[in-house]
Structure 1
Amino acid sequence: MIFRLSLRFDNRRLETKEHGEEGEEEFFAPIERNFTSYNGALGVKFQVLPALTARINGASGFRAPNLAELTANGSHEGTNRYEIGNSSLDNEQNFQLDLALEYRNEHFELFANAFHNKINNYIYLNPTGEFIEEDPVFEYFQNDARLYGGEARYSYSPPPYSLAAYRE
Structure 2
Amino acid sequence: MHSNASTQNGRSSDTERAVSPVIGVVLMVAVTVVLSAVIAGFVMEMGDGMEDSLEATGAASFDFDADDGVMTVSLVSEGNADEWEIVGDVEDSPVTEINGAGEAVTLACSDDTGNDDSTDGESNEELTAAETGTISVTASIDGGSSTVIGDTEYDCSDVAD
- TM bin, normalised by shorter chain, reads under 0.3
By relative contact order (CA 8 Å, sep 6+), the higher-ranking structure is: 2
The two structures have a TM-score, normalised by structure 2, of 0.25
Q: Which has the higher strand share?
A: 1
